[in-house]
Amino acid sequence: MAETPAPEGEGPEEEDLDAPIEVAGVPLVVWAVRLTLFLLIQGAIVLASYAYYGFGTDPSQFGPGFRLDPIHASVNFLWGLVGSVVGFFAPRFAVDFTLAFALFFTGFAALGTFTPEAVPMHLGPWSNLINWLLALCAWTVTIYAILQGCLDSEPEA
């Protein structure tokens, strides 16, 4: 059988560039929301540690990645819980969740960077860096998902 040539300007390379990023048919934004499961696990471990050792325990006694105070651990636990529910059971709300996540963590990181004593948490430079990275990743995935949704809704010419 002879292959029919692709129309001008619609080669396989161009189709691949416009295709949405998916793994096993699940969009990137849903996978990003499912990654908040790590925040759920981290918050649960830290809160369980505080419950065992006492809530007056110095966070620096915990291992790297778990040196959060109880309020920060609760924030991570709640965002992880909501993100896990959305990512695994209600993926249609994934873009809305990532937008809210990006807005919250941008504000959270800004608050910790510019007014570290404004909240009753100990937001050190490393936790602020992580919060800024979370916000940046969330904004990147959200903007990509919104633009991809706009590309999918354009009428074919």
Ordered by start, the domain boundaries in the chain are: 26-153
Pairwise CA distance, residues 117 & 81, whole Å:
27
Would you place residue 12 in the very low, low, confident or very high pLDDT band (cuts 50, 70, 90)?
A: low
CB proximity list for 150: less than 8 A, separation 6 or greater: none
Calculate Rg over the CA atoms of the chain. 21
Would you place residue 151 in the very low, low, confident or very high pLDDT band (cuts 50, 70, 90)?
A: low
* pLDDT greater than 90 at residue 123: no
Find tokens 């540690």 and name the residue.
49
pLDDT digits (tens, 9 = 90+) for 75-109: 999 999 999 999 999 999 999 999 999 999 999 88
Helix axes 70-89, 94-114, angle to 10 degrees: 160
Is the separation of the CB atoms in 77 and 44 below 8 Å?
yes
